[in-house]
Amino acid sequence: MEQFVAKISIMLVPALLAVTLHEVAHGYVADRFGDPTARLLGRLTLNPLKHLDPIGTLALIVFKFGWARPVPVNSRNLRNPKRDMIWVALAGPATNLCLAAFSALLMRFFIVLRTTSNLGEFGNFLDPLSLMAAFSLYINVILGIFNLIPIPPLDGGRILSALLPDRYSDFFNRLEYFGFIIILFFIFYTPVWPRVLQPLVSLCVQVLAGKDSAVVFQVLNFLRT
């Protein structure tokens, strides 16, 4: 039981921040480009309860990737629907990758502070903060990269749809009805995850965390046990 509580305490806040800021970023950029839908529905808020999808949150905790309840965007309200939709879609993954970089800086700062300073008992508080920052780095890299997969309804699919000519994008958008099944197929029944996405995630973690990347992978091993 204690181990379960420790795992939840490491994952909960970083995961909530990651999915909440991802969705708020979509809504904020859409609002800036002329679509107030998310704002009018009260979705431009940092209250995670407004954004959580129960199944997506459970998947995030169990499988270390998941999803939130998408912020509604009405592309017809955008000043230039196809062009602006690219920026709206990019906002979520870009926010996650920025959070990953910030988390890496925090983690490395906490580790340096813990190992080079004589903080006494206060230093014990830095250990869980380091673990949370390490998980935040990983989960934000996962969400940033995963959402760029060019399959609707993922952000990468919306970007690709906006780049395609209308006669192709209309057909492509119809795949959204089967998008979740297609995504699961690629993850579990093709080598895309182990041979492409997983190495890319590991590379990003190593680049951002540097010599402290081992801490991130140790945290992940602990969470998987």
Counts for the chain of helices (H) and strands (E), in that order:
11, 0
At residue 122, the pLDDT reads 58
Q: What is the largest CA-CA distance in the chain?
A: 66
Q: Which two tokens stand for residue 58?
A: 């459970």
Q: Which two tokens stand for residue 3?
A: 């181990």
pLDDT for the residue 62: 67
pLDDT of residue 87: 97
Cα dist from 18 to 22, 100, 149, 150, whole Å = 6, 9, 18, 20
Integer Cα distance of 24 and 85 in angstroms: 15
Strands (E), the chain: none
CA separation for the pair 180, 68 (Å, rounded): 14
In the block, tokens 């955008």 appear at: 78
Structure tokens at 28: 């904020």
For the chain, which residues make up each domain, given as ranges? 2-224
At 6 the pLDDT is 85
Q: What is the DSSP code string of 195-214?
A: IIIHHHHHHHHHHHHGGGHH
Compute how many other C-beta atoms are within 10 angstroms of the C-beta atom of residue 141.
28
- How confident is the model at residue 133, as a pLDDT? 96
Catalytic residues: 23
Show pLDDT as tens, one digit a residue, over the chain (225 residues). 778 888 888 988 998 899 999 999 999 999 999 999 999 999 999 998 888 887 777 776 666 666 778 899 999 999 999 999 999 999 999 999 999 999 999 999 998 887 776 666 555 677 889 999 999 999 999 999 999 999 988 999 999 999 999 888 888 888 888 888 888 888 888 898 889 999 999 999 999 999 999 999 999 998 888
**Does the N-terminal peptide bond of residue 153 adopt cis geometry, omega within 30 degrees of 0?**
yes
Residue 188, pLDDT score: 83
